[in-house]
């Protein structure tokens, strides 16, 4: 497999789980500590060697592209005030990756969103990163998949084990472990009922695919929830040409789940030495630690 240079990030969803916070601010722009959710995802892409990020967006979300562009007026103000660190931080976001975007004019599902990026992806392997899933670890999540995809010359999807009562929120795979943490996929089901789930291995929003996925997406019929499901197209592709799943290591937060979103804020806050001790002092006032 050729190197993976392009990453598709679908960001056109309404973000109903994050209301009312996301009423007029895209859910991807809500902060986790001092950066918007989407910046963590783009940083993971950059740390994994991606050069181009393709946002699948809608008309309410241009502020996402703006975040990864220069804000010359603000930079001038910071420069004049000698705020070197802040200046560096705002410039950094503009210099992270090359940004492209395409509109998803109707919200017909994740599979449909990915299909909108077909022309921009062209004829090369690419990654998909779902903006709600924030991953953090020594090796960036999508990099873990790219390494296996290149070594095995196969499409790869990311999975993590979830509790039984949460399986119906995810795509669930049935796979056979061929190497530690690497599975050959036999089957996958989008949002199964608890009793129908083939395992507890859930698809996390990270995929490394070859462009033939677009032919499958073109043909796939609406699935669960009446949406064009990426999982259904992946299942058809896996049957024809084989596909691997890789268990992703590291911390994962679903930014659309309030408990996980708030935990992510604390997790990243605690990693900042300047904030850590104050943060712990405040938390201690409100939580009875054992
Ligand atoms: C999507 C995918 C699902 C996957 C999930 C991970 O679902 O369809 O297979 O498990 O992302 O976040 P969504 O969360 O968009 O409903």
- Domains of the chain are 6-286 (3.90.550.10)
pLDDT (tens place) for every residue of the chain, 290 residues total: 889 999 999 999 888 999 999 999 999 999 999 999 999 999 999 999 999 999 999 999 999 999 999 999 999 999 999 999 999 999 999 999 999 999 999 999 999 999 999 999 999 999 999 999 999 999 999 999 999 999 999 999 999 999 999 999 999 999 999 999 999 999 999 999 999 999 999 999 999 999 999 999 999 999 999 999 999 999 999 999 999 999 999 999 999 999 999 999 999 999 999 999 999 999 998 887 65
Helix (H, G, I), strand (E, B) or coil at 221: coil
d(CA 109, CA 21): 22
* 25 to 37, 100, 127, 172: CA distances (angstroms): 12, 20, 26, 31
Q: What is the pLDDT of residue 259?
A: 96
Q: Which of 52, 33, 64 is nearest to 97 (CA)?
A: 52
Q: Which of 43, 204, 209, 189 is nearest to 118 (CA)?
A: 209
230 Cβ inside 6 Å of ligand 1: yes
Q: What is the pLDDT of residue 38?
A: 97
203 Cβ inside 6 Å of ligand 1: yes
171 Cβ inside 6 Å of ligand 1: yes
188 Cβ inside 6 Å of ligand 1: no
DSSP state of 247: E
C-alpha 166 to ligand 1 mean position (Å): 12
* Rounded CA Rg of the chain: 19
pTM equals 0.95
C-alpha 136 to ligand 1 mean position (Å): 18
d(CA 99, CA 132): 19
Cis peptide before 145 (omega within 30 of 0): no
Which residue minimizes the CA distance to atom 9 of ligand 1?
171
231 Cβ inside 6 Å of ligand 1: yes
130 Cβ inside 6 Å of ligand 1: yes
202 Cβ inside 6 Å of ligand 1: yes
110 Cβ inside 6 Å of ligand 1: yes
190 Cβ inside 6 Å of ligand 1: yes
Q: CB of 37 within 8 A of CB of 122?
A: no
Q: CB of 237 within 8 A of CB of 218?
A: no
35-36/31-32 β-pairing = antiparallel
Which residue minimizes the CA distance to atom 10 of ligand 1?
170
Q: In a mutational test of the pocket of ligand 1, which residue from 10, 27, 169, 234 has the highest number of ligand atoms less than 8 Å from its CB?
A: 169
* 242 to 191, 201, 223, 239: CA distances (angstroms): 21, 18, 21, 6
Q: In a mutational test of the pocket of ligand 1, which residue from 133, 160, 174, 203 has the highest number of ligand atoms less than 8 Å from its CB?
A: 203
Residue 244, strand partner residues: 156, 184
Q: What is the pLDDT of residue 290?
A: 56
Q: Which of 130, 120, 128 is nearest to 100 (CA)?
A: 120
C-alpha 170 to ligand 1 mean position (Å): 5
d(CA 84, CA 78): 7
Burial class, 194, CB count within 10 angstroms (exposed 0-12 / middle 13-18 / buried 19+): exposed
């Amino acid at each position: 497999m050729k190197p993976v240079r392009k990453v598709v990030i679908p960001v056109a969803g309404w973000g109903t789980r994050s209301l009312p916070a996301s009423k007029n601010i895209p859910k991807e722009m809500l902060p986790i500590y001092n950066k918007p959710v989407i910046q963590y995802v783009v940083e993971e892409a950059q740390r994994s060697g991606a050069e181009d990020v393709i946002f699948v967006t809608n008309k309410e979300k241009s502020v996402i592209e703006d975040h990864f562009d220069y804000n010359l007026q603000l930079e001038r103000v910071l420069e004049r005030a000698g705020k070197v660190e802040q200046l560096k931080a705002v410039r950094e976001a503009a210099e992270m990756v090359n940004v492209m975007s395409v509109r998803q004019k109707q919200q017909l599902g994740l599979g449909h969103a990915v299909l909108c990026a077909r022309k921009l992806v062209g004829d090369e392997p690419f990654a998909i990163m779902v903006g709600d899933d924030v991953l953090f670890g020594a090796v960036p999540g999508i990099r873990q998949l790219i390494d296996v995809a290149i070594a095995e010359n196969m499409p790869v999807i990311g999975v993590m084990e979830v509790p039984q009562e949460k399986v119906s929120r995810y795509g669930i795979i049935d796979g056979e472990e061929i190497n530690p943490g690497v599975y050959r996929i036999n089957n996958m089901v989008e949002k199964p009922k608890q009793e129908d789930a083939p395992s507890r291995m859930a698809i996390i929003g990270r995929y490394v695919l070859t462009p033939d996925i677009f032919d499958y997406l073109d043909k796939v019929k609406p699935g669960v929830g009446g949406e064009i499901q990426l999982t259904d197209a992946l299942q058809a592709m896996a049957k024809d040409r084989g596909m691997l799943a890789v268990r992703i290591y590291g911390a994962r937060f679903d930014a659309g789940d309030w408990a996980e979103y708030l935990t992510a804020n604390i997790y990243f806050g605690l990693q900042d030495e300047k904030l850590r001790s104050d943060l712990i002092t405040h938390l201690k006032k409100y939580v009875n630690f054992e």
